Chains A and B, each alone.
Chain A
Amino acid sequence: MIEIEQLRYVRLGTRNLPAAVDFAQRILGLQLIERNDEQATFRSDFRDHTLVYEVGDPMQQSVGLEVRTQATLDRAIAALAATGITATAAHAQALARRKARAMASFRDHSGNTFELVVRPQTSGWRYFPSRDAGVTGFAAVALRTTANEADETLWTTLFNGQVSDWVGDAAFIRFDDAHHRLALHPSSRAGVLAIEYAVEGMNQIMQAMYFLQSAQVKIVHGPGRRPTSDQMFLTFAGPDDMLFSYVAEGVRIADDGAHRPRQFARKHLSFCAWGSESTIPEFAVSEDSD
């Protein structure tokens, strides 16, 4: 069992770095940490950075997860190899870009890229965002999966992930006391679906709704509340069709033994208890029996 310590970052390729930087600062409200011709990194909390835009193909995306030691990383590489997944150790330049001591990357059964990093940098400086969005931290990543069972099994058997709930076949997977850190949504293709940032509370969710409306940012789902995690959410579109969510509140699962994963029907109301609907295919539901 490989222990995932925490979510660290998402790296996204973009053909238009200036537009992505503008979005991350002015709309999303993150703090720009470093910017050069190749990449821009953004902070949302105690982590040095949680979002990276790098010049390249928008299909080139990866999710960074922390493991504690080099030994754990070595065990992970071996365990992945045993299931037929090749993990590639990173070279010095890639490590420098990620501000980590060691790293290995691999693809899940759908083709989503993950990077296991050892000793990624924490910031001693307080997070000071460019706008008062009330972001408290990087919360979760929603992924598309074309092999939901195999991908779910990867996280729950090879790694320490546990399914908190399912909506249809979409699995919400936790690694700590948060309801989920990864969500796997069955889809026709792989890729990051949404990047989620926690905000202080309902005020920030609702203020964001009016702010995004006035900034003419497309809101694709919410404001709403997830019956699964009990989180309030607001999902909107960023550059390169990437979705971002603000989330607030939500259950903590402190006692693993006491929590049983629940199966929710694949209905609008299973994604949003307030009744908001979405045209995003992964949340779209072909039912009319609500």
Chain B
Amino acid sequence: MINLQRVSYVRLGTRDIEGAIRFATDVLGLEVAEVSKGAIYFKSDEREHTLCYFEGDPHDQAVAFEVGSRAALSAAASELERLGHPVHAGTPSEAEARKVREFIAFNDPTGNRIELVWRPAYSGARYHGTRDAGITEFSHVGLCTTDAARDEAFWTQVCNARVSDRVGDAPLLRINEVHHSIAMFPTDRSGIQHINHQVESADDVMRSFRFLKERQVRIVFGPGRHPSSSAKFLYFEGPDGMVFEYSSGVKMIADELLYRERQLTFDPAGFCEWGAKPDVPEFRS
């Protein structure tokens, strides 16, 4: 069993790094943590970085999860190899580029690039965004799946994820007390489907709604409220068609024994209890 502790960061290739910087700072409200040759690191919480844009193919994407120890990392590597997932052991320079001590990388059954990292860097300087978006942390990713049942089995049986709710066949998976750190959405491709940052309050969601509208950022879903996690949300489009989400008030599941996952309908009502209709391909029935 691979024990994932927390979602750590996302790496995204882009052909337009200047555009990505403008979006991440002026629109999303992240803080530039470091600029290096061909890559830029953004900070959203107490960690050294949670988002990295690098010069490259926009299809080149990876999401990282923290594991607890070096032993856990090597056990994970052998388990993945045994199951037929080729494992790449990160080189020291690759680890440095990720601000982690050690890491391995592999593809999940859909082909999403996953990195398992040990000792990702935290930073002493507190996060101070370039605009007052109220971001509190990088919180979860949506991942594409070409076979939801197969991938749910991978994340829940090979890894320690638990199903918190299902929207149609899409499982919302938790690896700690947060309702979901991974959400899997059935589609015909691999890749990161959306990137979520938590904000302080519903006021922040609504202020950003006006802010983004004024700047003609394409809003693809919301403002709304998920019946699953009870979070108030807003989804909008960033560079290379990537969907970003602000949300506030995600449910915490403290008592594993008392919690029972629920089945929600794969339609607008299953995604939003306020009545918003998604313009996100993976959310449309």
Contacts and interface: CB of A to CB of B under 8 A. Distances in A.
Contacts of A273: 203, 207
Interface in A265-290: 273-276
A167 to B, nearest CB: 19
Contacts of A206: 223-225, 274-275
Contacts of A275: 207, 210-211, 214
Interface residues of A, number: 15
A81 to B, nearest CB: 48
A121 interface: no
Contact of B206 (A203, A207, A223): A223
A202 interface: yes
A128 interface: no
Nearest to B205: A274
A224 B223 CA distance: 12
Contact of B274 (A207, A224, A276): A207
B33 to A, nearest CB: 29
Interface footprint category on B = 10 to 19
A157 to B, nearest CB: 36
A130 to B, nearest CB: 18
A210 B276 contact: yes
Given A225-B203, A273-B203, A274-B203, A203 B210 contact: no
Among A225, A274, A276, find the residue whose CB has the most chain B CB atoms closer than 10 A: A274
A274 B274 contact: no
Interface string B199-224: 00011001101110010000000011
Interface of B: 202-203, 206-207, 209-211, 214, 223-225, 232, 273-276
5 contacts: A203-B225, A206-B275, A224-B206, A274-B206, A275-B211
Given A202-B232, A207-B273, A276-B210, 13 more contacts: A206-B223, A206-B224, A207-B274, A210-B275, A214-B275, A223-B206, A223-B223, A224-B206, A225-B203, A225-B206, A274-B203, A274-B206, A274-B209
